[in-house]
């Protein structure tokens, strides 16, 4: 990725998540036991809007056209659409079920809160999700 066009979405002590247009990259500020220095963790229709890195740096969530939950562990697989893997999961990104995510925050452990912008009503709705199992709750 070309560094002068990168937008920082989230940053922690050891990790930074940046995007260039529709592609999202996770990079390690310090390499602490991972085989790669950086990895592509997402690709979005439209630019990604937001991201979080969990407080314990074991996962991150990127939002925009849907959500991508990426587990920060070896082997750090590159993102591919519709790939079935334990490294990452996609939510609300299918053409007939697209949610436009505008903000994400970690509440505790594996629980995140995110806001969805309804394209029909222009209103925002809030949801809570357990990123480990995809369990969803409307707030």
pTM over 0.85: yes
| Residue 1 predicted with pLDDT over 60 | no
pLDDT at 121: 61
| Residue 130 predicted with pLDDT over 60 | yes
Tens digit of each residue's pLDDT (9 = 90 or more) over 9-32: 999 999 999 999 999 999 998 777
Task: Name all domains of the chain by residue range, CATH numbers in brackets.
Answer: 3-138 (2.130.10.10)
Tens digit of each residue's pLDDT (9 = 90 or more) over 27-78: 998 777 777 899 999 999 989 999 999 999 999 999 999 999 999 999 999 9
Long-range contacts of 43-49 (CB under 8 A, 24+ apart): 43/79, 43/81, 44/19, 45/93, 45/98, 46/22, 47/7, 47/19, 47/21, 47/22, 48/9, 48/19, 48/22, 48/24, 49/100, 49/101, 49/102, 49/103
| Alpha-carbon distances of 130 from 22, 47, 51, rounded to whole Å | 25, 24, 16
Confidence of residue 3 (pLDDT cuts 50, 70, 90): low
Tens digit of each residue's pLDDT (9 = 90 or more) over 76-88: 999 999 899 999 9
- Mean pLDDT of the 132-137 span: 96
CA angle 7, 16, 59 (to 5 degrees): 120
């Amino acid at each position: 990725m070309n560094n002068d066009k990168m937008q920082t979405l989230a940053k922690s002590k050891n990790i930074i998540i940046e995007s260039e247009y529709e592609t999202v990259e996770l990079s390690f500020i310090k390499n602490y036991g991972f085989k790669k220095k950086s990895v592509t963790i997402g690709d979005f229709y439209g630019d990604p809007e937001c991201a979080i890195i969990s407080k314990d740096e074991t996962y991150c969530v990127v939002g925009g056209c849907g959500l991508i939950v990426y587990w920060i562990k070896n082997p750090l697989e590159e993102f591919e659409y519709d790939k079935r893997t334990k490294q990452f999961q996609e939510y609300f990104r299918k053409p007939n079920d697209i949610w436009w995510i505008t903000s994400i925050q970690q509440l505790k452990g594996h629980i995140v809160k995110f806001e969805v912008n309804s394209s029909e009503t222009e209103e925002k709705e809030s949801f809570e999700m357990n990123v480990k199992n995809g369990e969803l709750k409307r707030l």
